[in-house]
């Protein structure tokens, strides 16, 4: 067996092994584990096909000669079966999503959705979309970028369908990136485009980033953006009476914290009297506890980032500050409807955080709580089109449409086109 064939074998096995057993205990290596596991997991079918093609070329060239080469081919076959199983697991996610929705909203939740809205819902992913995972189809959409929201020169983007209801519900998106990276244009695009096509107005907001910014700057900015949206979204065809919030990772933390702290003056300096209540929240793989109350963190990486770059104080010196920043410790019975989404192979944010947060929220809240645990999903699995992200996207759309339908029913309003 040649060196090239050996390298292909080792890299293929390592990539697949990381899908099923991501690195958790080491703060540095878990980042590499995430980066490779994220791409390989959501592109498992494409990677399997590429590996098969490369192996076929090497086999024809005699690179797998001898007994060792024979066993290497067998190992690669086993590897491809594992990749295809991972892909199939994503394709089969539909019943898992539906079961989570029924558990949180009731077995007959679809019947409670406004008939006009229900007829537009898509129940199964479009396979053609998954064949072009990075394509962002803007057909029928208008994206207005870099609208100032009158706070520290920050801006937001608005996604809207060219044809939409006269008073459309609003989805506010808060990007992730460890409170230090990322931007409003690069994340949750599949979800925002899908919701826009369903007649929603979607706003993706920027906020100040650390280390220049110091907590609570991030949540203050998000509250300011929400206040601006409430005051101005009507000019873009949006309904300020129904605003849902979503975000992933750091954005999951901020979206949950925003939803659980309506009108908190500590997070609204200079605009304390503004209404910052939202009507629903969908945090993805959020960092729900900065205090590590339940010792769920895999390693000391998060605490180190928070202390050195985000809060710029230690947990030991300022425990109340860390606790007040933790959505897990801000749960009340008045929480809006929540859908909590987390992948069970997340190497950056412990799956235990999602489980505990959803369970305690469900126990306390007077409103619905849906918890979707996505088998095989890494951190950021929803950034581009894949079997898992597409099934999840459609489930979130059903949840949000149900929440908006409940709002319409309780307010006596009617959705008009």
Host domain of residue 64: 3-91
**According to the model, what pLDDT value does residue 127 have?**
81
Domain boundary, last residue among 91, 118, 135 = 91
Q: Are residues 86 and 104 in the same domain?
A: no
Q: Flag whether pLDDT at 416 surpasses 60.
A: no
**pLDDT reported for residue 417:** 46
Q: Three-state SS for 263?
A: coil
User: b/e per residue, 215-225, with b = 16+ CB within 10 A?
Assistant: bbbbbbbbbbb
Number of DSSP helices (H) and strands (E) in the chain, helices first: 14, 8
CA distances from 102 to 96, 245, 256, 370, 398 (A): 10, 21, 22, 8, 11
Same domain, yes or no: 326 and 235: yes
Same domain, 347 and 198: yes
Q: In terms of domains, do 102 and 41 share one? A: no
CATH of the domain at 373: 3.40.50.1820
Facing residues of 168 across strands?
238
* pLDDT, position 353: 97
Last residue of a domain, one of 91, 111, 143: 91
Q: Do residues 362 and 371 make contact, with C-beta atoms less than 8 angstroms apart? A: yes
Contact between 129 and 111 (Cβ < 8 Å): no
Query: Is the distance from CB of 89 to CB of 375 less than 8 angstroms?
Result: yes
Q: HEC states along 129-178?
A: HHHCCCCCCCCCEEEEEEEECCCCCCEEEEEEECCCCCCEEEEEEECCCC
Query: Mean pLDDT of all residues in the chain?
Result: 95
Q: Which residue has the tokens 């459309």?
A: 168
Supply the residues annotated as catalytic. 249, 346, 379
Question: What's the rounded Cα separation, in Å, for the pair 250 and 227?
Answer: 20
How do the residues of the chain divide into helix, strand and coil, expressed in percent and rounded to 5? 50, 15, 40
The Cβ of residue 235 has, within 10 Å, a number of other Cβ atoms equal to 7
Q: Are residues 392 and 255 in the same domain?
A: yes
> Does 49 have pLDDT greater than 90?
yes
Q: Is residue 45 part of a domain?
A: yes
Query: Does residue 412 have a pLDDT over 90?
Result: no
Measured CA distances, 148 to 56, 156, 241 (Å)? 54, 6, 21
Q: How far is CA 414 from the centre of its chain?
A: 30
Q: Is residue 340 located within the same domain as residue 353?
A: yes
- pLDDT at position 333 is 97
> Phi, psi (5° rounding) for residue 166?
-65, -30
Is 76 contained in some domain? Answer: yes
- Last residue of one domain, picked from the residues 91, 126, 157: 91
Query: DSSP string of 318-335?
Result: -HHHHHHT-GGGS--TTP
Residue 87's closest CA among 55, 126, 128, 130? 130
Q: Is 348 helix (H, G, I), strand (E, B) or coil?
A: coil
Q: Do both 83 and 115 map to the same domain? A: no
pLDDT classification of 86: cutoffs 50, 70, 90: very high
pLDDT computed for residue 226 by the predictor: 98
208 pLDDT above the threshold of 70: yes
pLDDT of residue 393: 97
Within-domain flag for 179:
yes
With respect to residue 268, please indicate whether it lies within any of the assigned structural domains. Answer: yes
Same domain, 264 and 207: yes
Report the candidate in 228, 218, 219, 225 with the shortest Cα–Cα distance to residue 330.
219
Asked whether the beta carbons of 247 and 174 are under 8 A apart, the reply is: yes
Q: Do residues 160 and 283 both lie within one domain?
A: yes
pLDDT at residue 131, as a whole number: 79
**pLDDT value at residue 411:** 81
Assess if residue 417 is contained within a domain.
no
The DSSP letter of residue 22 is: -
Could you tell me the sign of the dihedral formed by the alpha carbons of 181, 186, 191, 197, in that order? positive
The answer, yes or no, to whether residue 225 has pLDDT greater than 70, is: yes
Quote the pLDDT of residue 413.
Answer: 58
Tell me whether residue 132 is exposed, middle or buried, using C-beta atoms within 10 angstroms of its C-beta: 0 to 12, 13 to 18, 19 or more: exposed
Q: What does the pLDDT average to over 54-81?
A: 95
The 10s digit of each residue's pLDDT in 124-155 is 998 888 878 888 888 999 999 999 999 999 99
Q: CA 399, CA 98: separation in Å to the nearest integer? A: 10
Q: Is position 25 within any domain?
A: yes
pLDDT band of 318, cuts 50, 70, 90: very high
State residue 53's pLDDT score: 97
pLDDT value at 349 more than 70 = yes
d(CA 382, CA 379): 8
In a domain, 416, yes or no: no
> Is the per-residue pLDDT at 235 higher than 90?
yes
Lowest mean pLDDT among 63-67, 211-215, 260-264, 277-281: 63-67
Q: How far apart are CA 250 and CA 203, in angstroms?
A: 17
Give me the sheet containing 201-205, strands edge to edge: 141-148, 155-161, 201-205, 168-174, 238-248, 280-284, 338-343, 369-374
In total, the chain counts a number of residues equal to 417
The pLDDT, as a whole number, for residue 135 is 85
How many CB atoms lie under 10 A from the CB of residue 274? 15
Q: Say if residue 119 is in the same domain as residue 57.
A: no
Q: Please tell me the predicted confidence (pLDDT) of residue 1.
A: 86
Regarding whether 291 and 219 lie in a shared domain, the answer is: yes
pLDDT of residue 16: 97
Compute the radius of gyration of the chain from its Cα atoms. 22
Query: Residue 163, Cβ neighbours under 10 Å: how many?
Result: 9
Q: How many domains in the chain?
A: 2
* Same domain as 106, residue 39: no
Give the range among 125-134, 181-190, 197-206, 323-332 with minimum mean pLDDT: 125-134
């Amino acid at each position: 067996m040649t060196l090239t064939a050996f390298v292909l074998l080792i890299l293929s096995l390592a990539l697949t092994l990381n899908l099923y057993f991501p690195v958790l205990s080491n703060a540095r290596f878990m980042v590499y584990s995430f980066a490779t596991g994220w791409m390989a997991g959501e592109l498992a079918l494409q990677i399997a096909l590429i590996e098969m093609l490369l192996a076929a070329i090497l086999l024809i060239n005699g690179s797998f000669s001898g007994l060792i080469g024979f066993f290497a081919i067998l190992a690669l076959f086993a590897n491809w079966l594992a990749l295809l199983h991972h892909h199939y697991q994503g394709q089969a996610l539909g019943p898992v999503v539906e079961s989570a929705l029924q558990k949180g909203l009731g077995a007959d939740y679809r019947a409670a959705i406004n008939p006009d809205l229900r007829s537009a819902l898509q129940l199964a992913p479009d396979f053609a979309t998954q064949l072009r995972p990075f394509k962002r189809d803007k057909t029928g959409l208008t994206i207005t970028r870099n609208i100032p929201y009158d706070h520290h020169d920050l801006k937001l983007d608005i996604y809207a369908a060219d044809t939409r209801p006269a008073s459309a519900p609003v989805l506010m998106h808060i990007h992730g990136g460890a409170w230090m990276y990322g931007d409003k244009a690069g994340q949750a695009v599949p979800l925002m485009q899908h919701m826009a096509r369903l007649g929603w107005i979607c706003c993706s907001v920027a906020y100040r980033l650390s280390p220049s910014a110091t907590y609570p700057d991030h949540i203050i900015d998000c509250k300011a953006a929400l206040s601006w949206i409430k005051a101005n979204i009507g000019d873009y065809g949006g309904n300020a009476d129904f605003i849902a919030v979503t975000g992933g990772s750091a954005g999951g933390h901020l979206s949950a914290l925003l939803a659980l702290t309506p009108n908190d003056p500590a997070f609204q300096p200079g605009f304390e009297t503004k209404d910052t209540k939202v009507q629903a929240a969908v945090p993805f793989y959020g960092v729900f506890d900065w205090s590590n109350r339940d010792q769920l963190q895999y390693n000391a990486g998060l605490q180190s980032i928070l202390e050195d770059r985000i809060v710029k104080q230690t947990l030991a010196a300022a425990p109340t500050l860390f606790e007040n920043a933790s959505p897990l410790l801000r749960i009340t019975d008045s929480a809006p409807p929540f859908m909590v989404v987390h992948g069970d192979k997340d190497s950056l944010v412990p799956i235990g955080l999602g489980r505990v947060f959803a369970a305690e929220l469900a126990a306390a809240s007077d409103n619905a709580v849906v918890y979707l645990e996505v088998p095989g999903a890494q951190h950021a699995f929803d950034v581009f089109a894949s079997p898992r992200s597409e099934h999840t996207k459609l489930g979130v759309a059903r949840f949000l449409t149900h929440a908006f339908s409940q709002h319409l029913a309780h307010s006596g309003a009617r959705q008009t086109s």
